[in-house]
Amino acid sequence: MKVRVLLIAVAFAALGHSWAGEGHNHGEASAPANGNGPQRLADGSVFLPKPAQHQLSIRTTVARAGELGRTIELAGRVAMDPNAGGKVQSTIAGRIEAHAGGLPALGQSVRKGQVLAYVVASAAPMERSNQAAQLAELQAARALAAKRLARLRELSDTVPRKDIEAAESELASLGARASAVSGGLGAREALVAPLSGVIAASNVVLGQVIDARELAFEVVDPTRLAIEATTFDPELAANIGNASMPVGSESVPLRFTGAARSMRDQALPLTFRAQGAALARLAVGQPVKVFVHTRSFVRGFPLPSAAVMKNPSNQNIVWVKTAPEKFEPRIVTVEPLDGVNVAVTQGLKVADRVVTQGATLVNQVR
């Protein structure tokens, strides 16, 4: 009986290892994965060999907790500093004419008092003809006054001195009036730069006719700008310690100058002043982010913003180096600091080695 059972078991084993029939071939077995290359492990961590770390320029830093100023991110825009920017407008209506060298181009540097263009006054035909007739009358009267003065001077021995002086005064008055009327016919106004800076806006071309008070140019100092931000918390203005604004990879400090006393679109406008060479990359009206550092503090780990990634669930994570060639994702809670750095308030422990450079590449390993 035992021998029969053993034979049946051997027969089933042979059937299990028999070749599949025609049309039932399942193909070759898949090649084993490369165990020495970067790969995502089953637990979600990443295996990254040392050569790959050097090639990808992976850099880490030790997490250190501290008391960090609580920061609030506000939406703002670049505005013209009233003390470092100005508008060039004409006080008369007329036609635009260029100064020597032509009209200034956008972005061109100008000096305070430099003539940017001329506005040649324009008048209606009837008004010009009236001025021309008045000028002709004044010139004729001046000619008569000059002849009368000459006769009086020839009779200076018999004519009182006061009559000669009156004739001289009348001649000078008629000459001045004729000059004023003549200047009004061909008058032109010089449009000059109110300060040294660059041309931020140009709204005129050669031959263009503009009205009085029409904006022709805007001149700004690119190293001194104003930043306007809005907040829905009216109490924030009394709790501002300092502020900053990211410009590229730099963090530009802002000086809080005050808050408005009237709401705009249900929000309170806040004004800041900025100064520095990095501001030359901004334009008036450009939207920016303003990070307001309040006087309250929060305990957390300061890290560069580039260290924070997103996982497939759209959660904030950082990569922590747990072994020489192993990195684990940690779900964290972050708060903004200055646009360049963030504060991790939850998810990290002291002495964790966090990837600060190349975190995007680690996050892409599959």
Up-side HSE of residue 25: CA atoms within 13 Å toward CB? Answer: 5
Q: What is the DSSP letter of 25?
A: -
Q: 36: which residues sit within 8 A by CB, 6+ positions away?
A: 49
| Cα gap 363→359, rounded to integer Å | 6
pLDDT score at 205 = 92
Residues 191-213 pLDDT 10s: 999 999 999 999 999 989 999 89
Is the pLDDT score of 16 beyond 60? no
Q: How confident is the model at residue 288 (pLDDT cuts 50, 70, 90)?
A: very high
40-71+298-363: CATH topology is 2.40.420
Q: What is the DSSP letter of 197?
A: E
| Cα gap 356→118, rounded to integer Å | 57
DSSP assignment of 103-152 equals SPPTT-EE-TT-EEEEEEE---HHHHHHHHHHHHHHHHHHHHHHHHHHHH
Amino acid at 112: K
Q: Structure tokens of 191?
A: 């449009």
Is the pLDDT score of 26 beyond 90? no
pLDDT score at 215 = 93
Task: Summarize the chain as % helix, strand, coil (round to 5).
Answer: 25, 40, 35
pLDDT score at 162 = 84
Please name which of 198, 238, 242 lies closest in space to residue 217, comparing C-alpha atoms. Answer: 198
Q: Is the Cβ–Cβ distance between 43 and 187 less than 8 Å?
A: no
pLDDT score at 337 = 75
Q: What percent of the chain shows pLDDT beyond 90?
A: 21
When mean pLDDT is compared across 104-108, 111-115, 169-173, the lowest value belongs to: 169-173
CATH 2.40.50.100 fits 85-121+188-220, yes or no: yes
Burial of 182 (0-12, 13-18, 19+ CB in 10 A): middle
pLDDT score at 89 = 93
Is the pLDDT score of 157 beyond 90? no
pLDDT score at 184 = 62
